[in-house]
Structure 1
Amino acid sequence: MQFVKYEIEDRIGYITLNRPEKRNALSYEVVTELKEAFSRASEDEQVKVVVLAAEGKAFCAGADLAYIQQLQSNTFEENLEDSNHLKELFYQIYTLNKVVIAQVQGHAIAGGCGLATVCDFVFSVPEAKFGYTEVRIGFIPAIVKVFLLRKIGEMKSKELLLTGELITASDASNCGLINKIVNVTQLKEEVKVFAEMLIKNNSGQSMEFTKKMIAKVPEMSLEEGLDYAARKNAEARATDDCRKGINSFLNKVSVNW
């Protein structure tokens, strides 16, 4: 791939944006390669946890504005196809069958902030800025809004989406947008240690099922959510991983996930 690197190290799949000269801006081709990389990680038996990283000073500056300018001459149908392309990437990451950690080494802006938003965990350097700046160029943060409302709620989402202001990593942490702030010299190692903890301690199947439920339950009523949870609870008891985990716990032996 031209714009995205795919590597595996110790059961961690690294998907790395590799367009530093354009601040890893998103174009149709970049989104295509990201979708291909996440599909590969989803099916790769050597990968248990995925890390989304980036080369250069910026994590991702959002949409390539030159590309957006070209799209203005498109028909509605052509623009809808392009919008669906990005929508599919965000949904793919949000519902991926494996945990995804964003390793943010620089600014994550507009669509780049959207990429971080749909990941399960976000580790960031203190210097990184976050924000959805679309309203400042006459555009709208349409697709990411669906995920951001789920993640941090309506009040803070309105503040970020309607002002278009950039916030610090500290503010992003306080509002629940990121999980941990790490110095740049320690970022990759901290992410690796966290990923290795998930790999060593947790059933991949259990994390997959739990992540799937987290995505589905908010769209259900209270009763529907509880019925769905009860069914999944019953299904989980019959899995090999559950038998293996409980047997290991009762016999006081380490489980090899």
Structure 2
Amino acid sequence: MRESVLRMARDDMSDVEIRQTGVVLTVALNRPETHNAMTPDMIQELGALFGSLPERDDVRAVVLTGNGRSFCAGADLNFMRAAADYSFEDNVRDGEAIFDLMETINNCPKPVVGRINGAAIGGGMGLVSVCDIVVAAERAKFGL
């Protein structure tokens, strides 16, 4: 089976790596140096990707995982520090973006399999909770 690797390009690097093998799309969080902590860019990339899946006849199932030792450490700490200075409206907008992402994955018409390869903390648990099926490595850790 032919495998293709796509990157949702943003300056040569992406927070999300996409591999398609046959009809299975593997979506990997791609910030291993931060344990795949979520940034606004990652949230936007994931939302756009999962939002496009209803129209994709070439995809019948999705595997969601993380590159590196962790699945997802939740929100990026630098993003959280910066958010402390945001206006109320900006914080509401960011909260709505995360909600929209979780709702989009939850309502995805393709089965979403979470392949949890390490820690799933905070927002990472949110991602786990919207998967249809979850398979965890023995070393996986879950926490809020």
Please give the TM-score of this superposition, normalised by the length of structure 2: 0.88
Taking the aligned partners of 1:10 and 1:30, their CA distance within structure 2 comes to 25
The question of 1:110 aligning with 2:122 is answered yes
Across the two proteins, how many residue pairs are aligned to each other? 132
* Contact 1:41–1:50 under 8 Å retained in 2: no
Which one has a bigger Cα radius of gyration? 1
Measured after TM superposition, the shift of residue 74 of structure 1 is: 0.8
Identify, as 1 or 2, the structure richer in helix: 1
Give the counterpart letter for 1:85 in structure 2: A
Which residue does the alignment assign to 2:68? 56
Q: Which amino acid aligns with 2:46?
A: L
Question: Superposed, which structure 2 residues align to 1:51-130 within 5 Å?
Answer: 51-130=63-142
**Which structure has greater strand proportion?**
2
Tell me, in whole angstroms, the C-alpha distance in 2 between the residues paired with 1:124 and 1:43: 29
Give me the CA root mean square deviation. Answer: 0.9
Distance 2:55 2:142 in 1: 31
In structure 1, give the amino acid aligned to 2:106. Y
- 1:43 deviation in Å? 2.0
| Partner AA of 2:17 in structure 1 | K
Give the whole-Å Cα distance in 2 for the aligned partners of 1:98 and 1:122.
14
Using CA pairs under 8 Å that are at least 6 residues apart, name the structure with larger relative contact order, 1 or 2.
2
1:212-244 superposed Cα distances (whole Å, 9 cap, x missing partner): xxxxxxxxxxxxxxxxxxxxxxxxxxxxxxxxx
The letter for the 2-side match of 1:27 is: T
- 1:6 partner SS: strand
Cα deviation digits, residues 156-175 of structure 1 (max 9, x gap):
xxxxxxxxxxxxxxxxxxxx
Give the secondary-structure state (helix, strand or coil) at the position aligned to 2:112.
strand
User: Identity over the aligned pairs, expressed in percent?
Assistant: 36
Tell me the distance in 1 between the aligned counterparts of 2:88 and 2:35: 28
